[in-house]
Structure 1
């Protein structure tokens, strides 16, 4: 009984003090949740300088007598609203019973001084696959013009890289009065978690990284890992279609049908680029039925990405990664390698789009790529799918190796963000967060 009582005392993390610095109010659209703001420096290198507010949301634990602490959540993007995500019942009822669920809009998103670049300027993009030096120069000039105009519109523009957001997360922790936090992040939200664990590892109680960004990836690998993942996932889709009578292309040559669909998309005026984008998102979501139907009956519209992602690529992605091409020759060699790695979908839509956004940038990124160093943090839980096209399986394996003592949970299927993929993935994450069972490497 003494051991049990001691374990229970270690499990529950009490707040340091009341969160007096956050004036909580019922959220206008969801009164059961609480909304507030936290004031932070605009520039963390000048803590006494101008300040800005971060929007924060909290949903209190439904079983307060057994409350463990807080779990911060972030659904990624960049551009998604973590404050809104915190108010959604995404995590299991068991987790929500034991934790206050908290999220904050990273600076530059939603209600934290959202960055929105000029739609008119962005619409003048001359094309993100330049065929010659003149087209490369035109794209570089376009990107710089969008960036400079956006910077002039938004004073926060140069202060939104993910390392900065990790410092903001620490400010919110302090405002809550919590000694330690748990964290669940998806996709780009996993980079926020990793960087927080690097800077403030002793403040981490537990951390689940679902669909993992590898911040050590330099330009060639950032593109080629994603391109190879897209090609591999399409191959698995082809095999699935051959084995499943429910597939709209069952019994057909799926690759030939895909090539025909590309031609048809051009013929009907939709354009193969839009077809490739839609196919990519079906692969990303693990929606193989949807992908088969898309190819069989070409049409529809492009799926929307995270809110204001198109603007934040310039301010966040180009500062978190070294996406810098010295000249057209380097770009062309990279593009040819990308196409060799993924001939079916003509490369990696997301990876190529992000790299092309940064053409023309010559400055050193504010938050350059590096190996993960989380020696001061407890063991992390890395959650991934085997055929993730947005954050490839190789990235999860790399983060797992770099984060000593971490555990890798692999969903043996497609999809991006797999907490809800099946009972196995959800149980692995929940038991780790709740500390009801030892974490271990497992394939689900």
Structure 2
């Protein structure tokens, strides 16, 4: 799905707007990564029920084969970034067979800034899967989290296995990624559908060739087990953690596996682990439509909206944008890009979706759409798309997209097995979002060609016996719909749901004093918000 961008606040290269990146969730982005479960359409869209398996807790005693990992001493060093120290954590490649070798995971820390007694370590994860938690800590969390929290906690981040500095999975080089991200995701005929399938196959084959062993061991469960090894190495009895978007799935998985080791957990912009991939993708498609409707209402109130004037209904605004996408599909427009890229439908769609994560990006989106629609200048939308994909000016990409696919395709069976299944499901996706539905349906196909079979299935997470856990949901969140936060809060036996009535992806640290105060109180005093607390 498009849950990719982690809550990491990456800065667009063409302006000062900050995008609260989302988590790369489950489906795929324009031609990005997808996940899903290949079952009948009816089963995929059905509501999850109590029949979903419950994630079982691991034994409390540490197996002797894992003792060397749990007992390791961390050797901290200067990482070249003022105020931070770094180290490497060893974890088994395969927890079921530790003798198969290690993975080495990058860890960074900013020591607590205040005097007096400290509360231990606060582990942070921005989402993804595929987002660098170390990068997030160094660029935002260690300075952007509230001062009282930073004063009493050592802020810590670990790049999950396969991500960024932790033995990254890399599939395509920059030139091939450019081709991949520009592939038509709304095929008009069999030839274009074959070209899209070929692009998914090429991506998957490259991942399999470049990381044949690691690709089998980058699941969320394994990453959660790595966090417990880190907890022990840090000397903390319990894990204190703030995870956003996909980071909520990682944190909830930790709670399910180690309920007795849960400290203070904040899960912001939650995922529902009980849903199969097709349902996750369909829900997220509807979430982007909800966010776009809010953008449309705001846009037509502005004097420079290129999608409609005052009073234009959101549905008509959507039709106008879709018509523009159709024009780009037939004839891409210039961008001024040094590598000669033109703005076609795929890149434009990604650019618009990138701005849905944070309403602070809406003015930038209006400006970019105005330039593209009225002046045939696609530079602004290309900037938004490149920021989403983490493409640098020199044409290189981070490993975000590769890691996103690697984790998603391992965690759940594919949403679709074939183009025929996508075509059968198109009406439901287009109903969920007339603007984005077609493209997101086709984007959900790529895990069908993954070289490694999925090891995970949809499941409930109850974490019985865990300390209170705070689940945060935003009512008009595009990437992690509010209903997912409600569902996870119902599953977790000790959860408190904290609701933000607003727009954008995630809520903590995004301007609501009510949300921030509630979470800060929980992190600093251990007091969760009152049952049913809502903020706006």
Normalising by structure 1, report the TM-score. 0.86
Take 2:208 and 2:416, find their aligned partners in 1: how far apart are those partners?
22
Please give the alpha-carbon distance, in whole angstroms, between the structure 2 residues aligned to 1:142 and 1:265.
20
State the match for 1:293 in structure 2: 367
| Structure-2 change in CA distance of 1:234 and 1:148 (3 Å) | closer
The residue aligned with 2:73 is: 21
Matched, 1:158 2:216: yes
Q: Is the 8 A contact 2:474 2:501 kept in 1?
A: yes
Look up the SS of the partner of 1:205 in the other structure. strand
Alignment map for 1:83-162 (pairs within 5 Å): 83-87=134-138, 88-119=142-173, 125=180, 127-129=184-186, 139-140=196-197, 142-154=199-211, 155-162=213-220
Asked if 1:426 corresponds to 2:516, the answer is yes
- Cα 1:128–1:111 shift into 2, 3 Å: same
Per the alignment, do residues 288 and 320 of structure 1 end up closer, same or farther by CA in structure 2, a change over 3 Å counting? same
The change in CA–CA distance for 1:281 and 1:291 in structure 2 (over 3 A counts) is: same
Quick one: structure 1 residues 58 and 80, their matched pair in 2 at CA, closer, same or farther if it must change by over 3 Å?
same
Name 1:389's counterpart in structure 2: 478
Q: For each residue in 1:143-163, what CA deviation from the matched residue of structure 2 results, as whole angstroms up to 9, or x when unmatched? A: 344334323322422111111
Question: Relative to structure 1, is the Cα distance of residues 436 and 207 closer, same or farther in structure 2, using a 3 angstrom cutoff?
Answer: closer
The answer on whether the counterparts of 2:464 and 2:494 sit within 8 Å (CA) in structure 1 is no
Which whole-Å CA distance do the structure 2 matches of 1:142 and 1:262 have between them?
21
Q: Contact between 2:245 and 2:268, CA under 8 Å: does it hold in 1?
A: yes
Bigger shift: residues 239-248 or 228-237: 239-248
| Contact residue 257 and residue 295 of structure 1 kept, 8 A | no
Asked whether 1:251 is paired with 2:298, we answer no
- For 1:200, which of 227, 234, 258 is the aligned residue? 258
SS where residue 436 of structure 2 aligns?
coil
Question: Residue 388 of structure 2 corresponds to which residue in structure 1?
Answer: 304
Q: Matches of residues 227-242 of structure 1 in structure 2 within 5 Å? A: 227-242=285-300
| 2:223 pairs with 1:172 | no
Equivalent residue, structure 2, for 1:262? 325
Distance 1:179 1:29, change over 3 A: same
Report the Cα distance in structure 1 between the residues aligned to 2:515 and 2:304, rounded to whole angstroms. Answer: 26
Provide, for residues 250-302 of structure 1, a one-character-per-residue CA deviation record: whole Å limited to 9, x for no partner: 52634464345435645552223322221111112223333333333323212
Task: Tell me how far apart the structure 1 counterparts of residues 115 and 166 of structure 2 sit (CA, whole Å).
Answer: 29
Q: Which residue of 2 aligns with 1:315?
A: 406
Residues in 1 aligned to 2:328 and 2:418: alpha-carbon distance in whole angstroms:
32
Q: Which residue of 1 aligns with 2:449?
A: 360
3-state secondary structure, aligned to 1:411: strand
Does 1:280 pair with 2:353? yes
Q: What SS class does the counterpart of residue 116 from structure 1 fall into?
A: coil
Could you say which residue in structure 2 is the equivalent of 1:344? 435
CA distance in 2, matches of 1:362, 1:138: 19
Offset at 1:246? Answer: 8.3
1:437, distance to aligned residue in structure 2 (A): 4.2
Question: In the alignment, what sits opposite 2:105?
Answer: 54
SS of the counterpart of 1:63?
coil
Question: How far does residue 369 in structure 1 lie from its aligned partner after superposition?
Answer: 1.9
Alpha carbons 2:496, 2:529 under 8 Å: kept? yes
Displacement, 1:244? 6.0
Which runs of 5 or more structure 1 residues have no equivalent in the other structure? Answer: 1-17
Cα offset, 1:29, TM superposition: 2.1
Paired with 2:185 and 2:345, the residues of 1 have a C-alpha distance of 14
Shift of 1:169: 0.6
CA distance change for structure 1 residues 437 and 162 in 2, over 3 Å: closer, same or farther? closer
Contact residue 319 and residue 368 of structure 1 kept, 8 A: no
**Distance change >3 Å, CA 148–CA 43, structure 1 → 2:** farther
Bigger mean CA deviation after superposition, 214-223 or 168-177: 214-223
- What secondary structure is seen at the aligned counterpart in 2 of 1:344? coil
Cα distance, 1:434–1:244 mapped onto 2, change above 3 Å: farther
Secondary structure of 2:369's partner?
Answer: helix
CA RMSD between the two structures: 2.8
Cα distance in 2, alignment partners of residues 305 and 213 from structure 1: 21
CA deviation profile, 1:95-143 (whole Å, cap 9, x unmatched): 1111111111111111111111123655665644456677656655653
| Alpha-carbon distance, 1:397 to partner | 1.2
Contact 2:332 2:345 in 1 (8 A): no
Question: Within 2, Cα distance between the matches of 1:327 and 1:103?
Answer: 38
Moved more, 54-63 or 161-170: 54-63
Aligned 8 A contact 2:131 2:163 in 1:
yes
Match of 2:86 in 1: 35
User: What is the aligned counterpart of 1:66 among 85, 97, 117?
Assistant: 117
Does the CA contact (< 8 Å) of 1:324 and 1:360 recur in 2? no
SS in 2 for 1:316: helix
TM-score, scaled relative to structure 2 = 0.72
Aligned length: 424
Gaps of 5+ in 2: 1-69, 334-342, 373-377, 391-397
Shift of 1:77: 1.6
1:103–1:386 distance in 2 versus 1, CA, 3 Å: same
